[in-house]
Structures are given as C-alpha cells and as structure tokens.
Amino acid sequence: MDAIRSVLVPIHKEGYRFIALFAVAALILFWIADPLGWLGVLATAWCVYFFRDPPRLTPLRSGLIVSPADGLVQAIGEAAPPQELAMGEEPRLRISIFMNVFDVHVNRIPADGEITVLHYRPGRFFDASLDKASEHNERQSLRMTTADGGDVAFVQIAGLVARRIVCDVFEGQKVQAGERFGMIRFGSRVDVYLDEGIVPMVVPGQRAIAGETVLADARADEPARHGEQR
C-alpha cells in the first residue's frame, strides 16, 4: 500500500476540470482516428502530471526562509520590490525561481507569520525567464511579517503560456512555512524579496523544491555561497 501511495501523487484541486477536458478530448480524438486518440491520452497524462501536488517535508526553525516554488534558481541580485507592497524603493535581495511546464506548480508559504499585503496586478505575458517579466507581467504580490519580525515578500508572476494565477490566502491570515497558498498555470516564476543583511543559501542554477529548500537563513553569518557544476 505504501508503494502505491508513493506513486499515486495527490492532484491539486485546480487540475480536475482540466484533466476532465483533456480526457473528453482524447475520447473525441479516438472517435476520429485511433492514432489521434493516443496523442490525447498522452496529453491527458501530462495534464495529470502537471497538476500533481506531492507532500513536502518543511524544515522548521525561526529565521529560515524556504522556497515558495519548485524550479530553477535563475537569478540572485538586488531589486526594488513591487511598488504596491509599500516596502520602499530601496533595492532588496531578490531570489528568482523559474518554473517550467514540467515542475510542480503548487506554491508554498516561505516562513511562519502573517500576510500583511495582497495585491493583484494584470499585465503582459513575456517569457517568465526574462528579467522584465518581474516588472511587466501579470502578478500577484504578497508581503508578510514573519514570526520573528522579519519582512518578506514573494510574487507570483505569470509566464509566456501561463494565464491564471491562483492565490488562496487573505490579508491578516496567519500562515505556516510550507503551507500551500496557490499555484500558477502553466509555466511561470516566483520572486522572493528579503530583508537587508540576509544572505542567500542557494546559488543560481540550483534546483529548488517548494517547502523544502532553504533559500536564506536570517541567523546565518556566513558569506554568500558559490557553486559549480560537477
């Protein structure tokens, strides 16, 4: 039974209607021609895979900031947070995580605390891997006060083929690290903005796992890390 459960990963609630649509399309394609029907089956299987929602084991300790998204740590640098979050115009450390269409797209809270600001802004649909996507693309911005008094922002950004940002939290809500808060369909990016003085624990090119990978540690006093492919 445990082996079966390890294979049958839960599906996010947002995926059921899409899976049903893909399955109906596959049946119609079978009616038209068998080869087309099998293509529909493959597409349906991919849709199930896309909306998977596997459980995660979140490290719990004050000061830790865990990744809100699965994907590639694309860039780490200084940037001003979105104006709608009222965090000032001074640049902060920003960690950008790019999700391709094969990554898990369920997003998770990066730390224990309280959501203080939520703001949705419509926009363009540039490739999420481009730096200008942070400024011009459709986005859902969230700001939170962590349990130890820190100030963290994380921004869901729609990508080239993404056309729907889902955010299930509200202002004033108490949240926990690793808790699910939404998702983005179908290929996108999440930016995380940290307080001054916090050093990243990841490097560009590293794969991050939502709810598990530690992006930063407010208690750490080590220098920024460097990495190389081996």
Are 130 and 16 within one domain? no
Answer whether residue 10 shows pLDDT above 90: no
Answer whether residue 211 shows pLDDT above 80: yes
Question: Is residue 56, in this structure, part of any structural domain at all?
Answer: no
Answer whether residue 175 shows pLDDT above 50: yes
Q: Are 223 and 203 in contact (CB under 8 A)?
A: no
Answer whether residue 98 shows pLDDT above 70: yes
The DSSP secondary-structure symbol of 62 reads: T
Active site residue 134: no
Q: Is 126 helix (H, G, I), strand (E, B) or coil?
A: coil
Query: What integer pLDDT is reported at residue 4 of this predicted model?
Result: 47
pLDDT per residue as tens digits for the range 136-171: 788 999 999 999 999 999 999 987 665 678 899 999
Answer whether residue 3 shows pLDDT above 50: no
What are the angstrom distances between the C-alpha of 196 and each of 69, 85, 152?
22, 16, 10
Query: What integer pLDDT is reported at residue 213 of this predicted model?
Result: 96
Q: Which amino acid is at 37?
A: G
Query: What integer pLDDT is reported at residue 229 of this predicted model?
Result: 81
pLDDT per residue as tens digits for the range 106-142: 999 999 999 999 999 887 766 666 677 677 788 999 9
Catalytic residue (one of 67, 96, 141, 188): 188
31 by Cβ neighbours in 10 Å (0-12 / 13-18 / 19+) ranks as exposed
Query: What integer pLDDT is reported at residue 169 of this predicted model?
Result: 94
How much is the pTM? Answer: 0.86
Domain total for the chain?
Answer: 2
What are the angstrom distances between the C-alpha of 40 and each of 21, 45, 69, 103, 184?
10, 9, 29, 21, 23
Question: Residue 221 is encoded by which pair of tokens?
Answer: 């006093």
Are 165 and 135 within one domain? yes
3 by Cβ neighbours in 10 Å (0-12 / 13-18 / 19+) ranks as exposed
CATH number at residue 149: 2.70.70
Are 24 and 124 within one domain? no
**Choice among 12-21, 101-110, 166-175 with the minimum mean pLDDT:** 12-21
- 28 lies in which domain range? 2-50
Q: Give residues with Cβ within 8 angstroms of 194, minimum separation 6.
A: 65, 92, 93, 94, 95, 152, 200, 216
Could you tell me which residue, 127 or 200, shows the higher pLDDT?
200
Answer whether residue 193 shows pLDDT above 90: yes
Are 42 and 83 within one domain? no
Query: What integer pLDDT is reported at residue 77 of this predicted model?
Result: 92
Are 7 and 104 within one domain? no
Where b means 16+ CB within 10 Å and e means fewer, 142-181 reads: bbbebbeebbbbbbbbbbbebeebbbebeeebebebbbbb
